[in-house]
């Protein structure tokens, strides 16, 4: 099963088609949620966005945690509505 090059370069397509085989970077998160990179760092600082972790000096996000965060936000929005 081979994916097209455009599907491999778009993190949103990667998450829709299944969990990627790598941890996501802050740039990936900004692209997935269509927000500025600074917003991703503010979420981390305020502990309001998807949970991230450090590998040395590098910030990474587990795709499973990102998916759980989105699911939690979606269910929270339904309850509030």
Q: pLDDT tens digits, residue range 25-39?
A: 999 999 999 999 999
Question: Would you state the pLDDT for residue 1?
Answer: 47
Residues 40, 30: contact at Cβ < 8 Å? yes
Mean pLDDT of the chain: 83
pLDDT category, 21, cuts 50, 70, 90? confident
Q: What is the pTM of this model?
A: 0.72
Instruction: Give Cβ neighbours of residue 43 (< 8 Å, ≥ 6 apart).
Output: 49, 50
């Amino acid at each position: 099963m081979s994916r097209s090059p455009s599907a491999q370069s778009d993190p949103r397509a990667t998450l829709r088609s299944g969990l990627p085989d790598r941890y996501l970077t802050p740039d990936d998160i900004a692209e997935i949620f269509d927000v500025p990179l600074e917003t991703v760092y503010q979420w981390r600082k305020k502990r309001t966005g998807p949970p991230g972790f450090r590998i040395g000096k590098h910030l990474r996000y587990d795709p499973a945690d990102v998916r759980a965060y989105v699911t939690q936000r979606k269910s929270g929005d339904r309850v509030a509505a």
